[in-house]
Amino acid sequence: MEQKLVDFSAFHSRLRVTGTLHLETALRIGAGGGGGATEQDLPVVKDLAGKPYIPGSSFKGAYRAHLEALLRGMDEKLACLSTDTAARFGGPGAVSGCLSQGDVDKLKEENRDNPAELGQRILKASCWTCRLCGAPWLASKLMVRDMPVVADTWFDRYLIRDGVAIDRDTETVGAGLKFDYEAVPAGTAFRFEMVVDNATGVELGLALLGLREFEDGFVTLGGGRSRGLGEVKLEVDWENGKETWLVTRDGLRAYLLDRTMTSLADEEIRRSYWKAFLDEVAKGGKSDA
């Protein structure tokens, strides 16, 4: 069956997943720049009340990078390297298994009077992670909200750790290069919410596989990971059908009328999506199933 572009002009599906992200070790997501006179050299991101939070973009970045690594482990052409900006914005053919800016410019020229065909060709030439997480020329289907701290796990106290910069030439501590940095202590938890709009069934399988990696603690977040920081585990609200659910086009009427959603509490349902994605990868295709 010929693949059809699933865009945002009509409802196709919505997956909502909520949960709690637990810090197994301290976490450091830097605010950028140095602190003020009363702050540490390297503060963490905080909300207006001075409490820590995890930017949704930080989670999504780690999530995407981990998916890219898994996919390239199966076949290098299944996912491009989104951080390779030289290739991404290079000429035609610069990115293996995906699109560069040069490829997109060429497709735009060839389909100047046929935007529908242009969309189809961009979709078919894009790798799995670009289809799910977006690219400069493709809107992301996946959104992660900023993650607020769980109140009863936060005691208004940050960890302050010392660090030193090593002079690589002398292999000794550089003069005046001692610094300190903040981290959020282990045991702190954050509320998690992810929404995936208009993904195909196969793309939903990829999205759910990525979450499974966080559930098993195989993805780290933030900086200082070589020092043991950033180990996390995601506890998903699978059993709460009011918080974590799936709606497809077939169930849209029931959703609008009675807020009836498909629960994902049964692992076999989630497994069916995992399997659909892995089967599609094994066939070497990109299905619209």
pLDDT at 168 over 70: no
Is residue 104 in a domain? no
Q: Does 251 map to a domain?
A: yes
Tell me the C-alpha distance between 149 and 53, whole Å.
6
pLDDT at 88 over 90: no
Average pLDDT over residues 77-94: 80
Range of the domain at 249: 13-79+127-283
In a domain, 277, yes or no: yes
**How far out from the chain centre does Cα 69 lie?**
13
Per-residue pLDDT reduced to its tens digit, 183-197: 999 999 999 999 999
Alpha-carbon separation of residue 144 from 124, 191, 207 (angstroms) = 25, 11, 12
**Judging by DSSP bridges, how do beta strands 245-248 and 262-263 pair with one another?**
antiparallel
For residues 115, 119, 122 and 123, what is the CA-based torsion angle, rounded to 10 degrees? -170
Q: Does pLDDT of 198 surpass 90?
A: yes
Nearest-Å Rg of the Cα atoms of the chain is: 22
Statement: residue 179 has pLDDT above 80? no
Does 268 reside within a domain?
Answer: yes
Which percentage of the chain shows pLDDT scores above 70? 87
Q: Is residue 84 part of a domain?
A: no
In a domain, 92, yes or no: no
Q: What is the pLDDT of residue 227?
A: 86
Q: Is 1 within a domain?
A: no
User: Please, which residues bridge with residue 233 across strands?
Assistant: 22
Alpha-carbon span 170 to 150, nearest angstrom:
45
Residue 107, domain member (yes or no): no
Mean pLDDT of the chain: 88
pLDDT at 166: 58
pLDDT tens by residue, 127-144? 999 999 999 888 899 999
Is it the case that residue 261 has pLDDT exceeding 60? yes
34 pLDDT band (50/70/90 cuts)?
A: low
SS3 37: coil
Is residue 167 predicted with pLDDT exceeding 80?
no
Exposed (0-12), middle (13-18) or buried (19+): which is 34, by Cβ within 10 Å?
A: exposed
Distance CA 19, CA 104 (A): 37
Specify the number of domains making up the chain: 1
pLDDT at 172: 57
Residue 240 to residue 248: CA distance in whole angstroms: 18
pLDDT > 60? residue 36? no
